[in-house]
Structure 1
Amino acid sequence: MYNTLGVLLAGGESRRFGQPKAFATYKKQYFWEISYQAIKKVTDTNIIISQSAYIDRFTRENSVSVYEDESPYKGKGPLAGIYTAMKKEQAEWYIVLSCDIPQITSKTLENLLKFRSNHIQAIIPKISGRIQPLVGVYHSSIFPEIENQLLTNQLKLTNLLDLIDVCYVNEQDLMINQEVFSNINTQSDYHKLLNND
């Protein structure tokens, strides 16, 4: 069993973006590669949760473990991705990161991990007052809650957070600028990112 497993969520539909966000580029790297490199530096091992249409693209030139969401929860969003990671790989802690936050750094993730304790089941950033559950650290003890949420079709991560012991941390706690957490949802967001570089 691992102490800390990295889980990169990279299988979303990207409807508003118009193409798979995982394969958008920033500073000559795919978004997923940026996130994967950040998470890799602070974990024992890593996996990618995606969909079958993208698996070849991830594994073609890289030695990475990629899984699809477990049946019967395929297509049930990030909650299904976290469930799949916990089913596939045993760890005490899972650091979960979506692939559409290209300014994330390993230092930010390292600072997040410092808040682990015996009394906490999740560490979640709250940046500018906004909860960021897709850059979070989750303890294995929440697996039954995740499974129950999926069974009852309660798919919002914020619903899960209401049921478990969460430590919320802000930008001061993490010693970061809030832009680090800017996620790219639209082509407009993407062009803003590229123009500010």
Structure 2
Amino acid sequence: MHKIPAVIFAGGKSSRMGKDKSQLPFAGYPSLSEYQYRRLEKLFEEVYLSSKSDKFCFECRLIEDNYAVHSPLAALVSAFEKLDAPEIFVLSVDAPFVDEEVIGKLMDARGKEYDVIVAESPHGIEPLCGIYRRSILPEAAQMLKNGDHRLTTLLETVKTRRMKFASKEPFLNLNRPEEYQEALKRLL
């Protein structure tokens, strides 16, 4: 069991999906959120869902995002404002194939010399699959105040270690209805 908190980001608008993807049924669970939460509970001592509101139909630890904007940066700042933790593992709710092996490689790469340890797939950097240290908070809060919500910009300004993964498969995101349907087929 990993000792740092895991935070699942589930507060996005889901505009490309056309409905809240965090609430779509997945892998025998009533929602993708519950699937991710139960899966990470087996790996981390503490698991949280980050969202704008409590929209979940199961018992879970919730971090309500403090900011009006829908952005992963706002969720990240909110997580550090709510949790008294030096570092957190972050995963997007729509990345259900990030497995124990990927998480283990990221956890093994932790070190105080980096502010962020983030996955990099053949598609590029995966900012919502990584470990963020509290040391990013001043820069992240300033970016939020300035209206710059891009996690990639944050990763360029803090000490970031990219962990390369040869396969893009674990990082497939369920952004569109066809990607969701393809993910359901992969479960068969």
What is the CA-CA distance between 1:106 and the residue it aligns to?
3.0
1:151 to 137, 145, 148: 145
> Higher mean Cα deviation, 84-93 or 42-51?
42-51
* d(CA) in 1 for partners of 2:79, 2:65: 8
What is the CA-CA distance between 1:138 and the residue it aligns to?
0.4
Whether 1:132 and 2:126 are equivalent positions in the alignment is yes
* d(CA) in 1 for partners of 2:3, 2:81: 15
Post-superposition Cα deviations, 1:146-180, rounded to whole Å, max 9, x if no partner, equal 101101111000000011111101115xxxx4211
TM, length-normalised to structure 2: 0.91
Distance 1:25 1:99, change over 3 A: same
Whether 1:77 and 2:71 are equivalent positions in the alignment is yes
Distance 1:38 1:61, change over 3 A: closer
* d(CA) in 2 for partners of 1:83, 1:93: 12
What is the CA-CA distance between 1:87 and the residue it aligns to?
0.3
What is the CA-CA distance between 1:3 and the residue it aligns to?
5.2
Q: Which residue of 1 aligns with 2:180?
A: 190
Aligned residue for 1:109, secondary structure, equals helix
> Higher mean Cα deviation, 37-46 or 19-28?
37-46
Q: Which residue of 2 aligns with 1:166?
A: 160
Q: Which residue of 2 aligns with 1:5?
A: 5
> Higher mean Cα deviation, 147-156 or 36-45?
36-45
Post-superposition Cα deviations, 1:79-126, rounded to whole Å, max 9, x if no partner, equal 000111100011111101110012122332122111001211101111
* d(CA) in 2 for partners of 1:167, 1:158: 13
2:102 to 102, 108, 114: 108
* d(CA) in 2 for partners of 1:134, 1:195: 24
TM, length-normalised to structure 1: 0.87
Distance 1:3 1:146, change over 3 A: farther
Q: Which residue of 2 aligns with 1:92?
A: 86
The 4+ residue runs of structure 1 with deviation greater than 6 A are none
Aligned residue for 2:127, secondary structure, equals coil
Q: Which residue of 2 aligns with 1:32?
A: 33
What is the CA-CA distance between 1:39 and the residue it aligns to?
2.8
What is the CA-CA distance between 1:38 and the residue it aligns to?
3.4
Gaps of 5+ in 2: none
Gaps of 5+ in 1: none
RMSD (CA atoms): 1.8
AA at the equivalent of 1:97: L
* d(CA) in 2 for partners of 1:49, 1:195: 27
State the number of aligned residues: 185
AA at the equivalent of 2:173: N
